Amino acid sequence: MKKLNVLVADYAWPDLEIEQAVLSTVGAELVVAESGSEAELIALAQTHDPAAIMVNWAEITPAVLAAAPNCQVVARFGVGVDNIAVDEATERGMIVANVPDYCYEETSDHALALILALARNIVPLVNDTRQGNWNLHVSPRPFARLNTQTVGVVGFGRIGRALAEKGVGIGMRVIAYTPRLTADRVPAGVIATQDLDELLQQADYVSLHLPATAATQNMVNQEFLGSMKRSAYLINTARGAIVHEGDLYDALRDGVIAGAGLDVLKSEYAQSGNRLLELENVLATPHAAFYSPDAIADLSRKAAENVVAVLRGERPPEDYIVN
């Protein structure tokens, strides 16, 4: 019987014990890349002829897929698949699978945490107190009473829905937008709209929960930001590509909007030159919204189970299949 190899392009946690335990049920062994570069992945694919590829952030390009002609499934450690050449995989008969219910609690918690931190001026207060001051007026931004504030949720998948429910739970007014969203698809207390401008004009916090696609790239641009209230904040725990960073910088600098809470940037590994991080009205975290040990354990197991299903001649759950 031919040996089954699974190429792991990259991962962001200490070890692959969970993945290996699940994959061992079909006799598969892991081949782990060191850098995750295209050249390395091509070389490993040509050498080890993987039956599956597992990937976190690395780029699975058409050239990588061409080097692995016997690959049956590309399994993403996560939700978005913008780093995978899905059309190429589809043409080659490869299933592309993700874990769509991954980290929705953690990411919605993080979005809510950014909203609360901005509403209560937490970071300026903490920084000033550490410097020996005891002054509640350190921030020029006013404090907000949450039950007078509106959260606009743009995108209404699992994460957007979870944030909406949590916003309602703490007494905030919540408006949700996605094309063709109807009232019967939102939880009690959430207002559904198919008019994005209506949401932007009313929301005190606009929270993004969209995938990175050709349709959403640079969706948050000068026009989008100009439709927001001058007192409003942009929250992005989704993908950096959704935001035109030049337009956001101008809007934040010029007071078009009050501030932003950002967990994602377009170039997350070249932060030193990003002007957004120089602005005092930006609260940034290092793409941490997804993280908790529980979330990583679930992700590792479910991504590996997607691979095992395909290698057994079965299919992953239908809502885990991207193509």
Tell me if 240 sits within 8 A of 269, measured CB to CB: no
Length of the chain in terms of residues written:
323
Q: For the chain, which ranges sit under pLDDT 50?
A: none
Residue closest to 72 by CA, chosen among 320, 323, 321, 307 = 307
- Cross-strand bridge partners of residue 175: 152, 191
Burial 274-297, CB ≥16 within 10 A → b, else e: bebeeeebbbbeebebbbeeebbe
Same fold for the pair 4-102+293-320 and 104-284: yes
Q: For the chain, which residues make up each domain, given as ranges?
A: 4-102+293-320, 104-284
Strands (E), 164-221: 173-177, 190-193, 205-208
| Cβ neighbours around 153 below 10 Å, total | 31
Q: What is the pLDDT of residue 139?
A: 75
Residues 208, 242: Cα–Cα separation, whole Å? 9
Name the CATH architecture for the domain at 104-284.
3-Layer(aba) Sandwich (3.40)
Residues 219, 43: Cα–Cα separation, whole Å? 37
Residue type, 10: D
Q: What is the pLDDT of residue 140?
A: 73
- Residue 126: CB partners within 8 Å, gap ≥ 6? none
| Cβ neighbours around 11 below 10 Å, total | 22
Q: What is the pLDDT of residue 248?
A: 98
| Cβ neighbours around 57 below 10 Å, total | 16
Residue ranges of alpha helices (H) inside the chain are: 17-23, 38-48, 62-66, 86-91, 104-119, 122-130, 158-169, 196-202, 222-226, 245-253, 293-311
Give, in degrees to the nearest 5, the angle at Cα 123 between 121 and 129. Answer: 100
Q: What is the pLDDT of residue 271?
A: 65
At the topology level, CATH places domain 4-102+293-320 in Rossmann fold (3.40.50)
- Catalytic positions, please? 239, 268, 287
Q: What is the pLDDT of residue 270?
A: 57
Q: What is the pTM of this model?
A: 0.87
- pLDDT tens digit sequence for 12-30: 899 999 999 999 999 999 9
Q: What is the pLDDT of residue 269?
A: 66
